[in-house]
Structure 1
Amino acid sequence: MKTFLITENDADQRLDKFLQKSVPLLPKSLLYKAIRKKRIKVNGKRCELNYRLVAGDKLELYINDEFFNEGRTNETFLMVPGNISVVYEDQNILLVNKPQGLVVHEDNDNTPDTLINRVKHYLYEKGDYQPEQELSFAPALANRIDRNTCGIVIVAKTAAALRVLNEKIKHREIEKQYLCLLAKRPKSPEATLTHYMKKDAENNLVRVQDFPDQDTKTMITEYQVLETKGDISLARVTLHTGRTHQIRAHMAYLGAPLLGDGKYGVNALNRKYGYKHQALCAYRLTFQFQTDAGVLNYLKGKTFEVEQVWFADDFHSGRFD
């Protein structure tokens, strides 16, 4: 028999979802059978798959030991560096400035050196994350940005914080602003644009068009040109939707692609200035909560910024004069 004591990080989730995470070696068919046969009990009583766990619940599993993975402390995150650039941190969340070139999660290359693994290593070294004591929760990213985009990524350090962040992001109560370098000046110095995008999965591209059809999604992008030097403009962009490659594709559609963007940009200008990746940074984050935010209420109205953006420094150095 195996006994689990449900903590705050395990609470408020369905029993079956919890078991799929905490006992991943147990096939779903055997999980369902164990529930039917009363081999899984909560507080000594029969339970249902959809039972929602409460902190303090005692979960008893009368199943074979072979299904329990006792080697959880041999974690992949210990293989990668634990050095991260912290923008803000408290007991619930961590704001990390992701460097350009680092993936947030494992991709097709299956590299262990990801942002989330670096974060886990950092929190492990601090004593804020002890995987051997967690049954189903691990620190998680609430948002993500492309490999070659730098800037703020939100990390939930607790399950309660993750639930709030997911809800607030869904309802667009967290504003994200970006800095970028545009390889050409837009016709208007500022605008809020509404267009429609369609994914080209085969080529990993986004196609932008003026009118919607059954396969498109609305994209709304607000931009403001802050300063222009020669061919290059420094601009601030606010996202009102969160689509794949939104800023890169939308600004290119305007005729003002990002400098360094090899997918949507102007290769001649990229080569001229030696930019091999898009000059794009998620530099500012504001918690614009409109409704109750539970454990994160104290963040309402607060704004956090990256102190130094590499290409903005480049722009103001006189390189583009």
Structure 2
Amino acid sequence: MKEFHITRNDSGQRLNKFLEKAVPRLPGGQMHKYLRLKRIKVNGKRADAAYRLAEGDILQLYLNDEYFDPPSGEQAFRRIARPRLRIVYEDGHILLADKAPGMVVHEDENGDDDTLIAHIQAYLWQCGAWKPEDAASFAPALCNRIDRNTGGIVIAAKTAEALRILNDRIKAREVEKRYLCAVHGCPQPPAGLIENFLRRDEARKQVTLHKTRVPGAKTARTRYRTLATAGRLSLVECELLTGRTHQIRAHMASIGCPLLGDGKYGVNELDRPYGEKGQALYAYSLTFRFTEPAGALQYLNDKTFTVPSVPFVEKYFPSFSIAQLSIF
């Protein structure tokens, strides 16, 4: 018999949803069978799958041991002795990490589990802010993601409540994200709005842009402004008004100003003199703009967070300072 003591992070969810996360090897059919047979109880009594767990509940599972074997790769954070993490901001609910270009946020198709979330979990575990054994169905999780070769701010939720709120707010477009990029040439006009339809090609892992809506395409809108020029490069700030795959990379290429180092949408001949191996794109700023009360996270409303520096800005635009930027 195994017991789970329901904590605040595990409370408020249906019993069946908790079991799907806490005991992932237990098939759904078996779960419902064991609920009927009282081999799964809450506070010593029979419970329905729809029962809402409350803090302090005790869940008893009279199940075979093989259902509790952890899936392979699940404990990647335990193998990290020294987390590589640049923290922009942290409190009891969230952590904002400045992801380095080249790091993946989640385990990829190649099985690379040296990920940003693993390093965040390792850090929180080692400093005592997260105890995996105290929350069977919750682990610190990322609320947004950025490409491997893009750097910048990624939001991690440290509590289940924060994760639920932020997922809703991001879906409602109440978290503003701004990027800096180095592009070839000078955008014309220097500032503007790029708006069209973007379709993702899953096989090629690339997107195409269309002036009119085509099957599978979604509206893509990017606001941009040119901040500085240096030689044949320009420093551009972009605000995502929609959050599509490769949106900034495809949009800047579409106006004749591909990102420096972008092997997918760029121009190799232009990139070659610089020797860059990844796109010069950085999610440098994040602002919370809640239109409705955000519960435990209301204190974040109208707060803006920025990274202290961006490598390609320091390298190619040394006289420019991120601190001098104002929101547009």
Fold similarity call, TM over 0.5: yes
> Which residue identity lines up with residue 61 of structure 2 in the other structure?
L
Q: Which amino acid aligns with 2:97?
A: V
Count of aligned pairs: 318
Corresponding residue of 1:121? 122
Question: How far is 1:71 from its partner?
Answer: 10
- Please name the residue that 1:59 is paired with: 59
Following TM superposition, the consecutive aligned residue runs of length 4 or more in structure 1 with deviations greater than 3 angstroms are 69-72
Q: 2 CA distance for matches of 1:206 and 1:71?
A: 34
Query: Residues 15 and 52 of structure 1 are in contact (CA less than 8 Å); yes or no, is this contact kept in structure 2?
Result: yes
**What is the identity, as a one-letter code, of the residue corresponding to 1:144?**
R
Instruction: Tell me the C-alpha RMSD between the 2 structures.
Output: 1.8
Where does residue 323 of structure 2 map in the other structure? none
Secondary structure at the residue paired with 2:19?
helix
Structure 1 residue 272: deviation in Å?
A: 1.3
Kept after mapping to 1: 8 A contact 2:230/2:317: no
Instruction: Go from structure 1 to structure 2 and tell me whether the alpha carbon gap of 1:70 and 1:102 turns closer, same or farther (over 3 Å shift).
Output: closer
Matches within 5 A, 1:222-237: 222-237=223-238
Give the Cα–Cα distance (whole angstroms) in 2 for the partners of residues 23 and 127 of structure 1: 24
Q: State the alpha-carbon separation in 1 of the partners of residues 239 and 96 from structure 2.
A: 18
Residue 213 of structure 2 aligns to a residue whose secondary structure is coil
Moved more, 47-56 or 236-245: 47-56
C-alpha spacing 1:75/1:230, structure 2 compared with 1 (3 Å): same
Secondary structure at the counterpart of residue 286 of structure 2: strand
Contact 1:79 1:112 in 2 (8 A): no
Counterpart amino acid of residue 242 in structure 1: G
Task: Identify the residue that residue 27 of structure 2 maps to in structure 1.
Answer: 27
State the 1:161 CA deviation: 0.6
Matched, 1:272 2:267: no
SS of the aligned residue for 1:119 comes to helix
| Alignment map for 1:76-87 (pairs within 5 Å) | 76-80=76-80, 81-87=82-88
> Structure 2 CA distance, aligned partners of 1:115 and 1:150?
11
Tell me if structure 2 keeps the 8 A contact 1:270–1:276.
Answer: no
Please tell me the residue identity of whatever aligns with 1:249: A
How far apart, CA to CA, are the structure 1 residues paired with 2:149 and 2:40?
46
Question: Take 2:229 and 2:15, find their aligned partners in 1: how far apart are those partners?
Answer: 56
Aligned to 2:48: 48
Query: For residues 134 and 49 of structure 2, what CA distance do their matches in structure 1 show?
Result: 24
- Matched-pair contact (CA < 8 Å) for 1:21–1:136: yes
Residue 252 of structure 2 corresponds to residue 251 of structure 1: yes
Q: Which runs of 5+ in 2 are unaligned?
A: 320-328
SS of equivalent to 2:41: strand
1:7 equivalent in alignment to 2:7? yes
Q: 5+ unaligned residues in a row in structure 1: which ranges?
A: none
Query: CA 1:70 to 1:228, structure 2 compared with 1: closer, same or farther past 3 Å?
Result: closer
- Pairs within 5 Å for 1:160-199: 160-199=161-200
Quick one: which amino acid aligns to residue 156 of structure 2?
V
In structure 1, what residue type is equivalent to 2:273?
K
Residue 157 in structure 1 maps to residue 187 in structure 2: no
**How far apart in 2 are the matches of 1:37 and 1:204?**
48
Following superposition, the deviation at residue 251 of structure 1 comes to 1.1
Q: CA deviation at 1:306?
A: 0.3
Percent pairwise identity? 51
> 1:183–1:266: 8 Å Cα contact kept in structure 2?
no
Distance 1:42 1:235, change over 3 A: same
2 CA distance for matches of 1:50 and 1:227? 57
- Between the aligned partners of 1:252 and 1:66, the Cα distance in structure 2 is 52
The 3 A distance-change label for structure 1 pair 295 and 257 is: same
- Counterpart CA distance in 2 for 1:27 and 1:129 is 28
1:62 maps to a residue whose letter is Y
| Structure 1 residues 201-222: Cα deviation after superposition (integer angstroms, max 9, x where no partner) | 1111100011112321111111
Q: Is the 8 A contact 1:259 1:265 kept in 2?
A: yes
Tell me, what secondary structure is at the counterpart of 1:147? Answer: coil
